Structure 1
Amino acid sequence: MSPSPLRVRPLSIAWRFAILGALVSLPITIVVNWLPDSEATIGGGIMTLGAFVAGVLAAIRSRDSSAAGFRTGFLAAVVGVLTSILTGGSPAAWPTSKVVFFVLASGLVLCVAPFFGLVCGRAGGWMANTVGSRWRSDANAL
């Protein structure tokens, strides 16, 4: 028998943390958006809160929090670009200058957002390691 041409490989652990962090950040972003004078966006919430949560989860499981945060930032950029396309009206009706600006701005967002996610993921990993080490030292003191 020949092997199946379709091979299903599970996602890496960093991608799993990134997706989980993005999903966890959605309700938090909605609650933050209810605050007065808040302009929280889905992409921004995923990029900051989701990457932070992904970094915490990765640090708890002794994985690279930076990688989880970077991937969460990339997911945030993709969600942000897709959201702006869906809420911006029909792209076919856009003038050429708006299309050019959108393409350049989307490229910039897709390049920069993962690095913001990396920083937030690192901050989440640092926080998890700091708090976790305090819990372990308090438990050892008893």
Structure 2
Amino acid sequence: MTETWKYALIGGLLALPFTALAAWRSPENISLGMVVVGSAIAGYLVKRRGGNSTATGLRAGLIGGFPAIWVVNKLFWAIPSIPNPPWFQAVGVAMILVVGGIILVVVALFGVIAGRFGGWLAERRGHGGTANARGSA
């Protein structure tokens, strides 16, 4: 397992239960705060080892924010219960798929931004992940 995936799993699995709880309690009002925190932690940790904080944040965001897509499940079950012509139901399914894609893009974007922030924070604190070029004095 690469360090990118290792730290993405740490950050994503940190956020996953909180996102799942938010999606279960109030599916129409999900907070992605823990996705941001988990992705920032993952970006910070991987940057300390010289890894790519953007890729790690993206993966951590998708892992931690995946429960946000569970909202789409309720929409799929609502389509057959409404008496509409088949073409209208097909349009409804297409719209739900688009909404699911938008949710994934938003979660991934939050993860990327937070991962980059975590990487920036690691660099600010002196963790570039590279060997000391000046040598020891």
Q: Normalising by structure 1, what TM-score?
A: 0.61
Structure 1 residue 101 corresponds to structure 2 residue 91: no
Q: Whole-Å Cα distance in 2 between the matches of residues 114 and 54 of structure 1?
A: 14
Higher RCO (C-alpha 8 Å, min separation 6): 2
How many Å apart are 1:65 and its aligned residue? 0.8
Matches within 5 A, 1:10-29: 11-26=1-16
Give the % identical residues.
28
Distance 1:25 1:112 in 2: 15
Greater mean alpha carbon deviation, residues 12-21 or residues 72-81: 72-81
Matched, 1:111 2:101: no
> Could you tell me how far 1:107 is from its partner in structure 2?
1.4
Compute the TM-score of the two structures, normalised by the length of structure 2.
0.63
Structure 2 stretches lacking a partner, 5+ long: 21-28, 83-88, 128-137
Equivalences, count: 113
Deviation (angstroms), 1:59: 1.4
Contact 2:4-2:46 within 8 A present in 1 as well: yes
User: For the residues of structure 2 that align with 1:52 and 1:94, how far apart are their CA atoms?
Assistant: 41
Aligned-residue Cα RMSD (Å) equals 3.1
The 3 A distance-change label for structure 1 pair 131 and 87 is: farther
Equivalent residue number for residue 23 of structure 2:
none
For residues 81 and 38 of structure 2, the distance between their equivalents in structure 1, rounded to whole angstroms, comes to 32
